[in-house]
Amino acid sequence: MEKLFPKMQIINENGEWKDETYRGEITEELTKELYTKMLRSRLFDRKGVNLQRQGRIGTYVPFEGQEASQIGSAMAMGEGDWMFPTYRDHAATMTFGHSLKTLFLYWKGRQEGCIPPEGKNIFPPAVPIASQLLHATGAAWAEKLKGTDRASIVYFGDGATSEGDFHEGLNFASVFNAPVVFFNQNNGFAISVPIEKQMKSKTIAQKAVAYEMEGVRLDGNDVFAVYFHTRTAVERARKGEGPTLIEAVTWRYGAHTTADDPSKYRNQEESVNRRETTDPILRLERFMKNENMWDEKWAADLQESLTLEIEAAVKEMEEIQAPHYNDMFDHVFAENPWPIESQKEAYAHSRGDR
Amino acid sequence: MTTLVDTKKLTMVQAVTDGMRVMMKEHENVIVLGEDVGQNGGVFRATDGLVTEFGENRVIDTPLAESGIIGTSIGLAMNGFKPIAEMQFLGFIYPAFNQIMTHASRIRARTLGHFTVPMVIRAPFGAGVRAPEIHSDSVEALFTGMPGMKVVVPSNPYDAKGMLVSAIEDPDPVLFLEPMRCYRSTKMDVPEGKYNVPLGKAARLQEGSDVTIFAYGAMIEVVMKAAKTAEEKGIKCDVIDLRTLYPLDKEMIAESVQKTGRAVIVHEAPGTGGLGETIMSLINDTSFLYMKAPIERVTGFDTPVPMFALEDHYLPSADRVVQAIEKVTQF
């Protein structure tokens, strides 16, 4: 199966060409854009972990190591398309349109963190596992019924492939030929459970075969491979050629969330080694150096301006007014039914507010 | 002035079909999906003829997967469609519980109204038709206790069509429960066009001053029979068909028990955690000082619905209801 679904690369760990199909499109401009977005998300992620450690936000879900998977795939989507993230996909959603402030607000426990900017079809993060595959399928199916060429992308991890909704999502999309890209980030661990205990299959991409669907396995730390192969899947979807299952093989360096300690279930030395070998950002840096695109001053300035942008977003997040409790009551239904209205009044009364 | 409206004599299941047909004609975005709803017209024929009239893009035979049906309906609903998702039986809804609980019912709240899920889930339910195991469950309380869901149960053809129209027009998810025992038990004059029976409003089926009987769905026939027996014994029952289980019609419930001072609540769902408890607390909150007797409940038991050889023992009977009426009036 690993032979049938080889881990495709465009550049290898040393930033050397492995597949020159897209060489003409891999310009300095595109490369720098991808580098910028990956660095931005990494700095955001580290900030998120630090803010949690300082008690300034709640539990945070880090994605460091998975930047190429999320950014390469999100870059392949177009205006008007739909995105269905999990709680680990803020690199994808910030690339597709969420503001950094909104993302921080989510981790500060604010409902506003679930709301995309007007015109951006970004669903709130799915917290149950794999349920979002069906929403992506439904939304894409709706676009097909409306006769548009819009598509959905949905993110999920290796553990999600064990859920029934993973299979129901793939099957519905296959049966109704819905324009969906099922984007799996296989980081090898579902919290603490390694993939060998999750499935006997050697790849996740092979599961596409059962649904008569295109299956693609790629190096999820090669941002070019992710971007171009996802773009192909989106183009196929737009042309009515059906859904695709993409397995992006990647790695999360840190914990599942800030509430667990990965050294309890795996040897973290591997994460340390991977930072030196397969890191997606370092790989792109090596590529840029090989291709004479690297400029130390540009990189230093970039680091500085992104840091400032993130600090500004933290400030905005922290300056926002505390939410009013009416937000909790007033959006359950279009109109409050009497039980909610009377509970709201009683609560206000208990606080001496009326 | 009387306006003449064309009517047809319809059973409840025919009225349900008619409700969907009327709304599908009026709104292109209304679609029906479920298992066997296409050519077969649904296992109860509730979608009979719809695929011929509206085509396979709007009346969709889905794969056999309840979570898949509800999950994709959520995606369709928040992207411009109004799905009417059929669960073959309420007892088959359990695989979809996660989708309803964690998504359909709370997407509006999660996003402060940015995304909404205007969909209707239709499900036949209840015992008494000699159905196989699991087909007879009455688990409405799982959903009345689920913030963000409306739950409604018609008991006759007229209400079925009018309430289904209202459910389809509702901007939020509505669980529309169809008592199987009532599907073909009676025919009734049902207006041909579109009309609404509002959600959240109960109906008084019989005026009386001695005791209020609350029921819904298939239990209406049972309590009407009991009320007749009671009347022969000189007890006048105020019979309320709740129709909407969330949100309950607080005004009518309070108004009736404040008049009678006595209440009997009847449902076939298990007693513990059932709607009866919610109604009792509502009476406690609104009408405690009016009550002349402790409230009685006649309900299904805290047992799984048995196989049908025992279902008549499980289901509340008119006899049990009469005994409860006598108990509260003789207190």
Same domain, B157 and B259: no
B104 three-state secondary structure: helix
Same domain, A330 and A305: no
- Given B171, B191, B211, the domain boundary residue is B191
Q: Is residue A19 part of a domain?
A: no
Q: Which two tokens stand for residue A239?
A: 């042309």
| pLDDT tens digit sequence for A12-40 | 999 999 999 999 999 999 999 999 999 99
pLDDT in the model for residue B4: 73
CA angle A262, A263, A266 (to 5 degrees): 85
| pLDDT tens digit sequence for A74-92 | 999 999 999 999 999 999 9
- Check which CATH number belongs to the domain holding B273 and give it: 3.40.50.920
Same domain, A330 and A214: no
- Domain range for A106: 28-322
CB B299 within 8 A of CB B267: yes
Would the CB atoms of A82 and B78 count as touching at under 8 Å?
no
In whole angstroms, give the CA distance from residue A19 to residue B56.
Answer: 44
| pLDDT tens digit sequence for A92-145 | 999 999 999 999 999 999 999 999 999 999 999 999 999 999 999 999 999 999
Same domain, A180 and A241: yes
State whether residue A83 sits within 8 Å of chain B by CB: no
Q: Is residue A12 part of a domain?
A: no
Would the CB atoms of B72 and A114 count as touching at under 8 Å?
no
Interface ipTM: 0.95
Q: Which residues of B touch A334 (CB under 8 A)?
A: 108, 113, 116, 171-172
B125 three-state secondary structure: strand
| pLDDT tens digit sequence for B142-165 | 999 999 999 999 999 999 999 999
Same domain, B111 and B257: no
Would the CB atoms of B112 and A135 count as touching at under 8 Å?
no
Q: Which two tokens stand for residue A101?
A: 């402030």
Q: Is residue A126 part of a domain?
A: yes
Residue whose token pair is 């279009």: A334
Q: Which parts of chain B sit beneath pLDDT 70?
A: 1-3
Annotated active-site positions of A, please?
Answer: 252, 256, 265
Best mutation target, B61, B62, B67, B72, to test chain A (most A CBs within 10 A): B72
State whether residue A125 sits within 8 Å of chain B by CB: no
Q: B112: closest CA among A316, A340, A93, A333?
A: A333
Same domain, A300 and A336: no
What b/e string do you get for A190-223 counting C-beta neighbours within 10 Å, with b at 16 or more?
beeeebeebeeeebbbbbbeebebbbbbbbbbbb
- Check which CATH number belongs to the domain holding B161 and give it: 3.40.50.970
User: How far from A2 is each of A8, A113, A203, A204, CA to CA, in Å?
Assistant: 11, 39, 7, 10
- Domain range for B321: 203-329
pLDDT in the model for residue B116: 98
Mean pLDDT (whole number) for A278-304: 98
Calculate the CA dihedral of residues B154, B158, B164, B170 and round it to 10 degrees.
Answer: -100
Same domain, A240 and A343: no
